[in-house]
Amino acid sequence: MALSTVTHSPLTTAHQPGLNRFDMTPAQQQVLLNHLQNKTPKRETRLAESFSHLLHHLHIEPPSRAKVQHINWDLHKAAVSPKQVISEKWHEIRGSTHWNDPSDLLHPWLRREIVKYGEFAQATYDAFDHDSSSEYCGSCRYNKSKLFDQLGLTRNGYKVTMYIYAMSHIELPRWLERSHVADPWSRDSNWMGYVAVSDDLETRRIGRRDIMVAWRGTVALCEWYDDFLSDLKSIGAGESKVEHGFLSIYTSKNCATRYNKSSASEQVMREVIELVQIYREKGEEVSLTITGHSLGGALALLNAHEAGAIIPNLPITVISFGAPKVGNIAFREELHQMGVKTLRVVVKQDLVPKMPGHFPFNEGFQAFGQIRKKRSEWDYTHVGTELMLDACSSPYLKRGMMNFPGFHNLETYLHLVDGYLDSTTPFRADAKRDVALVNKHCDMLVNELSIPPCWYQLANMGLVFDSHGRSKARRHPDDIPSPTREIDST
Q: pLDDT by residue (tens digit) across 340-395?
A: 999 999 999 998 898 875 433 344 444 434 433 344 445 888 999 999 999 988 99
Residues 137 and 35 in one domain: no
Number of domains in the chain: 2
- Choose from 22-31, 147-156, 451-460 the range with maximum mean pLDDT: 147-156
The structure's pTM equals: 0.78
Torsion 417-418-420-426 (CA) sign = negative
Q: Which of 430, 407, 426, 264 is closest to 345 using CA atoms?
A: 407
Q: Does the N-terminal peptide bond of residue 356 adopt cis geometry, omega within 30 degrees of 0?
A: yes
Asked whether the beta carbons of 99 and 343 are under 8 A apart, the reply is yes
Q: Is residue 171 a part of any domain in this protein?
A: yes
Asked whether the beta carbons of 245 and 221 are under 8 A apart, the reply is no
Q: Is residue 449 a part of any domain in this protein?
A: no
Q: Has residue 220 got a pLDDT over 60?
A: no
Quick one: pLDDT band at residue 463, thresholds 50, 70, 90? confident
Q: Tell me the sheet residues that pair with 345.
A: 321, 387
Q: Is residue 22 a part of any domain in this protein?
A: yes
Q: Is residue 470 a part of any domain in this protein?
A: yes
- Alpha-carbon gap, residue 197 to 188, rounded angstroms: 28
Average confidence (pLDDT) over 143-151: 94
Residues 38 and 110 in one domain: no
Q: Is residue 99 a part of any domain in this protein?
A: yes
- Alpha-carbon gap, residue 304 to 210, rounded angstroms: 14
Mean of the per-residue pLDDT values for the chain? Answer: 77
Max intra-chain CA distance, the chain:
81
pLDDT more than 90, % of the chain: 45
Look at 372 and 434; give whichever has higher pLDDT.
434
Q: Has residue 109 got a pLDDT over 90?
A: no
- Res 43: pLDDT: 41
Residues 98 and 39 in one domain: no
- Res 152: pLDDT: 93
Look at 198 and 244; give whichever has higher pLDDT.
198
Residues 200 and 304 in one domain: yes
pLDDT more than 70, % of the chain: 70
Instruction: Supply φ then ψ for residue 10, to 5 degrees.
Output: -65, -5
Q: Has residue 449 got a pLDDT over 60?
A: yes
Q: Is residue 422 a part of any domain in this protein?
A: no
Residues 316 and 191 in one domain: yes
Residues 103 and 233 in one domain: yes
- Res 427: pLDDT: 87
**Which of 44, 73, 102 is a domain's end point?**
73
Q: Which residues are catalytic?
A: 294, 350, 408
Secondary structure of the chain as H, E, C letters: CCCHHHHCCCCCCCCCHHHHHHCCCHHHHHHHHHHHHHHHHHHHHHHHHHHHHHHHHCCCCCCCHHHHHHHHHCCCCCCCCCCCCCHHHHHHHCCCCCCCCHHHHHCHHHHHHHHHHHHHHHHHHHCECCCCCCCCCCCECCCCCCHHHHHCCHHHCEEEEEEEEECCCCCCCCCCCCCCCCCCCCCCCEEEEEEEEECHHHHHHHCCEEEEEEECCCCCHHHHCCCCCCCEEECCCCCCEEEHHHHHHHHCCCCCCCCCCCCHHHHHHHHHHHHHHHHHHCCCCEEEEEEEECHHHHHHHHHHHHHHHHCCCCCEEEEEECCCCCECHHHHHHHHHCCCEEEEEEECCCCHHHCCCCHHHHHHHHCCHHHCCCCCCCCCECCCEEEEECHHHCCCECCCCCCHHHHHCHHHHHHHHHHCCCCCCCCCCCCCCCHHHHHHCCCCECHHHCCCCCCCCCHHHHEEECCCCCEEECCCHHHCCCHHHHHHHC
Look at 361 and 124; give whichever has higher pLDDT.
124
Q: Is residue 273 a part of any domain in this protein?
A: yes
Q: Comparing 10-24, 98-112, 126-140, 422-436, which segment has the lowest mean pLDDT?
A: 10-24
Quick one: pLDDT band at residue 101, thresholds 50, 70, 90? low
Q: Has residue 119 got a pLDDT over 70?
A: yes
- Domain containing residue 37: 4-73
Q: Is residue 143 a part of any domain in this protein?
A: yes
Residues 248 and 299 in one domain: yes
Model confidence pLDDT, tens digit, residues 278-309? 999 999 999 999 999 999 999 999 999 999 99
Residues 262 and 365 in one domain: yes
Q: Has residue 95 got a pLDDT over 90?
A: no
Residues 125 and 260 in one domain: yes
Average confidence (pLDDT) over 413-425: 87
- Res 430: pLDDT: 82
Q: Has residue 267 got a pLDDT over 90?
A: yes
Q: 364, exposed or middle or buried, with CB in 10 Å at 0-12, 13-18, 19+? A: exposed
| CATH code assigned at 482 | 3.40.50.1820
Pairing of strands 463-465, 471-473: antiparallel
- Res 490: pLDDT: 42
Residues 140 and 276 in one domain: yes
Residues 43 and 157 in one domain: no
Q: Has residue 457 got a pLDDT over 50?
A: yes
**Which of 46, 73, 100 is a domain's end point?**
73
Average confidence (pLDDT) over 301-319: 96
Residues 310 and 364 in one domain: yes
